[in-house]
Amino acid sequence: MTVPGVSGRDISEMLTPQGSRRQPLDGFDPDYADIVDYIIRCTHRIWEQKDIGLIETHYADCIRMHLMTGPIDGADGVVANTIRTLAAFPDRTLVGEAVIWSDEGNQTYLSSHRITSSGTNLGPSDFGPATGRRVQFTTVADCLCRANEIIEEWLVRDNSALVIGLGLSPRAVAREQALGDANDGKPAAWRAAAMDRVLTGPSTPFPRAGLPSPDNPETFARALFDQAWNHRRFARLREAYCPAANVQVPGGRSLFGHGEVTGWATAVIATFGNARFRVDHVAAVDGPNGIRDVAVRWEMAATHDGSALYGPPTGRPVYLLAVTHWRILDGRIIDEVTVFDEIALLRQIEGGL
Amino acid sequence: MITLAEMECRLRETRDLSVLDETHLHRAWREDALGRVRGRDRLREAVLASLADEQAGAPTIEARGAEMIAFTTMGGWRGHRWVEREGDRILGETEILDGAARSAALGLDLNDAARAKAANCPMHGPLGELRAGLGQLATSERPALPSGFATTAVEAATALHRIWNGRAINQVPREWRGPREAGEDGAAFVIALLTALPDAVWLPVRGSILDDGRVAVLWRLHGHHLGPGFGGPSTRRVRLIGSSVLSMAEGNIAAEDMLVDTLAMRATAHRPLIDYGPAM
């Protein structure tokens, strides 16, 4: 049986009871028909209906959440984070833009859930006192789900878009946070290990062949990151992207077409000259009218040795955890949303974390 | 299914904003040259804020299709609206209004209107080149078309590509209408815009056939405001969204009804720049 995505479905339709199971979900609550239903419905219940206690039945006690500010262990941390965010943005709505999932075997599913959050900053947040401002920002939650519980999560949020929306300076906020890190300028152990994982990965030979077809999303994603990003063959981006591609990257920055997409890649590498990229996970689902949605979770480790994006180089090591969502049509990327926590990145540049 | 014309009338004449619940997905977005709002609730707020200044009244629908309409409001300024659908609901809207004509009709000073429009729209610095990967090569004969571009609109897109990217200004038709400030001389307007944005590139986005058989093309014009006119030079990168309704004859444009928001171009100069530099 087909698992419907969010495409073409209004929230009112998605939140009506979905009937019997559409895929094997042993151990999940009986009212969840499939993994997409589980993600959309439990997000609505926990965040919008404020049934925070449901975290107890939807997150494993031993969950590890991976963020660019470091891992959080245990469901108690999830509850605390959720309540703090809701106190800061009590009217937060979470519009599910995409749920791109993969079957990981043994009725375990990886869901890459992209959310547009809207809310009013009525209470103190991680970024300072209440501003009264209305904001919008994008989050991607990559959740590994089994038996009704999220057992591991990789959470990336466009915090710089949020900070800019609050009327604050991303760099000033990051610097303030870095001052509180008290780490003697050295990366925290978790970050050192993550950077080591990326930097010691196997290198690949110079890619002479063109990009493979996105008919195999995993091969395509790995090849694009290898060729365009690791080998700096930016010309490959013109093969991969539609000339009218819309791309959203952190800070709410929107890019259009080959020139600006290539410009972003150039600016990233001009900021982090020795950057190495590692693809962690790829998921893909097919939608209507030949559309294919692909989710790629990836990491970058580098040294801040250039000034293209974030001011004069500091020589500090940086680590980046990101998720990219592509919408592919006729073999080319027509839409992309890439999310990482640019405030956490700037915090590293300022000597924190 | 509610047509775009019906939707426009319900919004502008009766102020029935509940129509958006019927026509739009909850994930719907709306964009103009300065950015995008996401979510039906925010989109409704944007519509309400825009209508609040305007006199209620039925718009005159001048071109209609499944994906696009062109209209003139009760106040006398024109608009083009494009939509992207998922199923029978609207996922996204691209709105092109004659912002300068609207400001004049509302009695606003053009520069004040530009500043007000820019105030809450901070912008990032520009990234990348405009003519991607072409270097010294001359403009190609045909434009680089997006995935899914309607084959019935390729001829029209190619003709616009020749005008804007090839600078074949002689091919701007005599029968031409654009933003009100352009007057009736299409070639003069194209020259004025390209003088202001000397490195401008024209990029096709979508094409569509209208109910009356004309062709509509949604496009972008990106360039740096390095020349005089339209409140410049500001040196800023200007990212305009434009739309053309075209009558074609033997591969050429016989008549064009186009719109681009020159107020948005003026506003770009006043947008606050997002700064990632070291904190003081």
CATH architecture for residues A11-157: Roll (3.10)
Using an 8 Å Cβ cutoff, are B44 and B50 in contact?
no
User: For B199-241, how does the pLDDT look when each residue is reduced to its tens digit (9 = 90+)?
Assistant: 999 999 999 999 999 999 999 999 999 999 999 899 999 999 9
What's the rounded mean pLDDT across residues A310-335?
A: 97
Would you call the peptide bond into B233 cis, given omega within 30 degrees of 0 as the criterion?
A: yes
Tokens, residue A156: 């990336």
Q: Judge whether residue A183 has pLDDT over 80.
A: no
For residue A301, give the 3-state DSSP assignment. strand
Q: Is residue A350 within 8 Å of A175, Cβ to Cβ?
A: yes
Decide if B74 contacts B12 (C-beta within 8 A): yes
Task: Identify whether the C-beta of residue A269 lies closer than 8 Å to the C-beta of residue A300.
Answer: no
Same-domain check for residues B217 and B155: yes
pLDDT value at position A185? 72
Read off the tokens for B198.
């000397």
Dihedral angle, C-alpha A315, A317, A323, A325, nearest 10 °: 30
pLDDT at A90 over 60: yes
Question: CA of A136: which chain B residue's CA is closest?
Answer: B38
Nearest 5 degrees, angle CA B54-CA B36-CA B148?
Answer: 115
DSSP label of B276: -
Rg from Cα positions in chain B: 18
Is some CB atom of chain B closer than 8 A to the CB atom of A96? Answer: yes
B-proximal residues of A, 276-315, CB under 8 Å: 288, 309-312
From A62's Cα to the closest Cα of chain B, the distance in A is 33
A:B CB pairs within 8 Å: 130
Q: What is the mean pLDDT of residues A85-109?
A: 96
Q: To probe the interface with B, which of A9, A44, A95 has the most B CB atoms within 10 Å? A: A95
Does some domain include residue B140? no
pLDDT at site B279: 61
Instruction: Please report, rounded to a whole number, the percentage of residues in chain A having pLDDT higher than 70.
Output: 100
> Is A16 in the B-facing interface, judged by CB distances under 8 Å?
no
Residues from chain B contacting residue A98 (CB–CB below 8 Å): none
Best of A6, A9, A10, A168 to disrupt the B interface (most B CBs within 10 Å) is A10
Quote the pLDDT of residue A184: 76
Token pair of B208, please? 């569509």
pLDDT above 90 (res A136): yes
pLDDT at position A157 is 97
Look at residues B100, B12, B110, B10 and name the one whose alpha carbon lies nearest to residue B52: B12
Contact by Cβ (8 Å): B191, B169: yes
| B244: β partners | B217, B258
Q: How many CA atoms lie within 13 A of B105 on its CB side?
A: 18
What's the gap in Å between the CA of A63 and the closest CA on chain B?
30
The domain total for chain B is: 2
Facing B277 at nearest CB: one of A96, A164, A311: A311
Chain B CB contacts of A171 under 8 Å are 275-279
Query: Which DSSP symbol is given to B152?
Result: G
Work out the percent of chain B whose per-residue pLDDT is above 90: 96
What residues does each domain of chain A span? 11-157, 189-349
Q: With bands split at pLDDT 50, 70 and 90, how would you rate the model's confidence at A182?
A: confident
- Return the CATH class of domain A189-349: alpha beta
A217 pLDDT tier (thresholds 50, 70, 90): very high
B169 and B221 assigned to the same domain: yes
From chain B, the residues in CB contact with A251 under 8 A are 124, 274, 276
Give φ, ψ of B208 to 5 degrees. -160, 150
Full domain range(s) for residue B11? 4-119
- Which of B18, B127, B199 is the mutation pick for testing A, counting most A CBs within 10 A? B127
Pairing verdict, β A72-73 and A93-103: unpaired
**Beta-sheet strands, E only, within B39-97:** 60-64, 68-72, 78-86, 89-97
Nearest 5°: the CA angle B32, B33, B35 is 65
CB B269 within 8 A of CB B74: no
Q: In angstroms, rounded to a whole number, what is the distance separating the alpha carbons of residues A15 and B195?
A: 53
Task: Decide whether A11-157 matches A189-349 in CATH topology.
Answer: yes
Do B9 and B97 lie in one domain? The reply is: yes
Residue B55 sits at the vertex; the CA angle it makes with B51 and B60, to the nearest 5 degrees, is 90
The strand pairing partners of A276, in sequence order, are A301
Does A126 score more than 80 pLDDT? yes
Shared domain for B47 and B115, answered yes or no, is yes
Q: Are B206 and B248 part of one and the same domain?
A: yes
CATH no. for residue B28? 3.10.450.50
Instruction: Please indicate, yes or no, whether residues B155 and B105 belong to a single structural domain of this protein.
Output: no
Interface of B with A (CB under 8 A): 25-27, 35-39, 41-42, 86-87, 89, 122, 124, 126-133, 144-148, 201, 203-206, 220, 222, 239, 274-280
Question: Which positions of chain B have pLDDT values less than 70?
Answer: 279-280
